[in-house]
Structure 1
């Protein structure tokens, strides 16, 4: 996968170990150390092709992650100075400031609104595999840490800023992708929009969050694998795929699933969040989340129609090669097609 970089498996192991160490730590000093180990392992993977754009993206990513780590460490030290313990609780009113600072640090590391500014520019200069890791694995630790923080301190004053960030992320993810010409930047804004849904689902159900995150990872693997195999840097390159009729339907089907078009698998995750929030008094936030998702689906559908309206007479081509990437791509396409239909059918049958 990273054949151009010596010791690449060591860096991947370091990155994975840092994330697992951070999630399993019992206090914030261990969490900070785990995030730094993850950063040390991930940075060499960003520059394995030794291109100027990759080096620029790696420097931007390092600066942003260092800023998030400084917020995280400052909030932890502020909490420690008040109780001489790395555990956070609400026995003192001054803990509110430390929790907010820690939350800001984690949101900077994730790229959640209003700290999303770095993600599109960083992802625009990275290779496809690094983009996949940045959009999926690198969000694991901050998302689960935000969830644990909200589980311990779930009160009204922390719910309002989280709702604001989630609604803003969904809108930015939709509006920011309208004027994009690069596929990497488009997928970065899509990641920002999905991140708003994931963090919002944390306030109600860990199971819904994990299901949404799993579905997003499955679809992202299919999207980035297809684009990596086709080597497409810009939006106009998708039109070149349609002229060759190579992977046209597979790429667009997974992009539509990523946008949440029913009955594909990407719609099921949003449907789960909506069904769990129906009894809560947060329909104002849901309106912004759904609006941002509809805007994202709009430019995916526009791209789909521009590619396929002139190709109505051509049939879908299924690959017959022995490339394992083709098999993974076909498997994810079947999961997107069949998974959503099965889940919707099971929900209808339970209703009866």
Structure 2
């Protein structure tokens, strides 16, 4: 099914597949348009953004996982999305788990661009398994999954087991679905010399619920990475605290009480003697910026709100914090909270000092 719009338009799409667009040329000014894609309840509906270009930060497209604006918000798009074949940025695939998707587009009166072309399919595999696998039906008729070819993995069969064939035969070879590098090479594809002359990334894919987030923080203690806070669109499956075992490469099961602290993002974390100190950040539910200082005890997985003697500390977001060891053995370590954005003063260059027990003086006083 195909649909395009004029100003102040709404449409309902009911086919198992189709696409929607703003029509030929640039979209209109001062537009409010809505599409409702109706699949089957509790089936997977996938939207593929083949083209998207709107006035950045002014003209937006919102995608909801349901049949109204009160359903969970899946994504909000504005600006330019470059197709993978044209550049390094990949086209996102938005997934609705309810079987319905509501799309609402708004444009202002100032500037317009070429708009968008979005295709959708009901109950299909992600990205059609990237052409490297077969789409299979799972245990229920409403679940599908990719059965990948021998050399590919991932939810969409888009991750090779052996990148670049491990540089065979010069640098290494593929064995047991992983690269075995020669002594003078390292890295996921045996492309980094030993010793390393550059940094490198390796990609892992995890389908653990509640992971997707932004403006979060993470620290590592005894082989476990603790991920705390972050901004999310859909709070129905949100976890304030997640823990990842770096050795086993698995996400750990935590006591639900670790999520009792009010969700926030843009905060800071600092690790000291098995405790994680969390300061400030923006409270997602209220929009307020916090000056609270929480400590998370890793051993028993509990939060404690600290109430140190106040020294006019600032509520900030987007700052950082670092533990500085004592200069003398009888002194206490201090946590330095650096800069950030304060609702009262805007961006500040202040350094706040916490003496693991009480707030000390501000080390600088200028504001910008």
Shorter-chain TM band: under 0.3
Q: Highest CA radius of gyration, 1 or 2?
A: 2
Q: More helix by proportion, 1 or 2?
A: 1
Q: More strand by proportion, 1 or 2?
A: 2
